[in-house]
A = this chain, B = another copy of it.
Amino acid sequence: MVGQEVALSSSDRQWVDRILGGDLRACTRLISRAESGDEAAIPLLRALYREGGHSKIIGVSGPPGAGKSTLVDQLIHWYRKRGLRVAVVAVDPSSPFSGGAVLGDRVRMLRHATDSNVFIRSVATRGSLGGLTRATGDVLTILDAMRWDIVILETVGVGQNEVEIMRYAPVVVILQTPGGGDEVQAVKAGMMEIAHVFAVNKADTPGAEKVAQTLSKMLAIRAESRPATEWRPVVVLTEALSGRGIEDLAQAIEERQAYLAQHPELEREHRERQLQARVAELASVELRKMIAQLTSESGALRARMNSLLDRSSDPYEFSRELLASSSSR
């Protein structure tokens, strides 16, 4: 099938064409279908993936309250002044405790509501089969095919899911705020490994410069044990509310983009790793569906589940058998 076009029904073809033509309503509807895990949306997503590869994806993450939304708002503004079209994907972690906060923050972005060259969408997958990471990948596939110049991927950095999601972005901006010794935590948890730009936000707060200095020092030490050609994360001071430092931030982002353009082998490596993770994610969603279906059927699989329940078998064995048998279905 390699190199062949995706076979689409004529209504699916029309839908794809509308999205490629920039129809926001068609785009929004397909995003909702992707979020809910609609099987029938897959052919459309397959066709759209093949039309992609245009948008520059920028990841923005940081702890709750660091000022992400305001900073993203300033970035939108910066890109719009340059005539670029900007889409924002805000990943809602659907936390049982903080759920809704991301959506609430969206209100702040309302000032772009009448600008048809700005598109803002939250992604959540409450209760559907498969994960948030899978749905986010779908949304990026759709926006990329629509040729948005800039796609900002915003997450509240609270868990492994968010780190996984940031893998989609070749440029990752991590917000830090003064106080709480966050910069030490960041290093501890391997945040250095995913960040390309650190924005120390709330630069007017006491201690901000100190945090920036400590971060820079840590990055310098880290750089000593790394190849000289490797990208060295940049630290900028920002004040999202006033817009101070946004120019520096935007330039740091462009430097990282230019660096990747100069090192196509690294960009390719990033794409490959990201595609590997994406394929694994999609395959595991398929697997979950398969297991749910199989175990609800009577017969051999029913017996198999019984052997797990009575512990004459084990889930480790079953998972391997399932993979081995998936081709026979």
Contacts and interface: CB of A to CB of B under 8 A. Distances in A.
Interface string A208-245: 00000000000000000000000000000000000000
Interface in A232-272: 268, 271-272
B279 A283 contact: no
A62 B96 CA distance: 9
Interface in A188-219: 188-191, 194
Interface centre among A61, A162, A186, A189 (most CB of B within 10 A): A189
Contacts of A286: 319-320, 323
B327 A189 contact: no
Given A49-B316, A275-B305, A322 B283 contact: yes
A2 B323 CA distance: 17
A112 to B, nearest CB: 26
A216 to B, nearest CB: 19
Looking at chain A's contact residues, the main secondary structure is: helix
Contacts of A3: 307, 312-313
A299 interface: no
A193 to B, nearest CB: 8
A93 B275 CA distance: 25
Interface string A300-318: 0001110111011111111
A53 to B, nearest CB: 6
Contact of A159 (B159, B174, B276, B319): B159
9 contacts: A93-B158, A96-B189, A97-B182, A159-B161, A268-B309, A283-B320, A284-B284, A286-B320, A326-B327
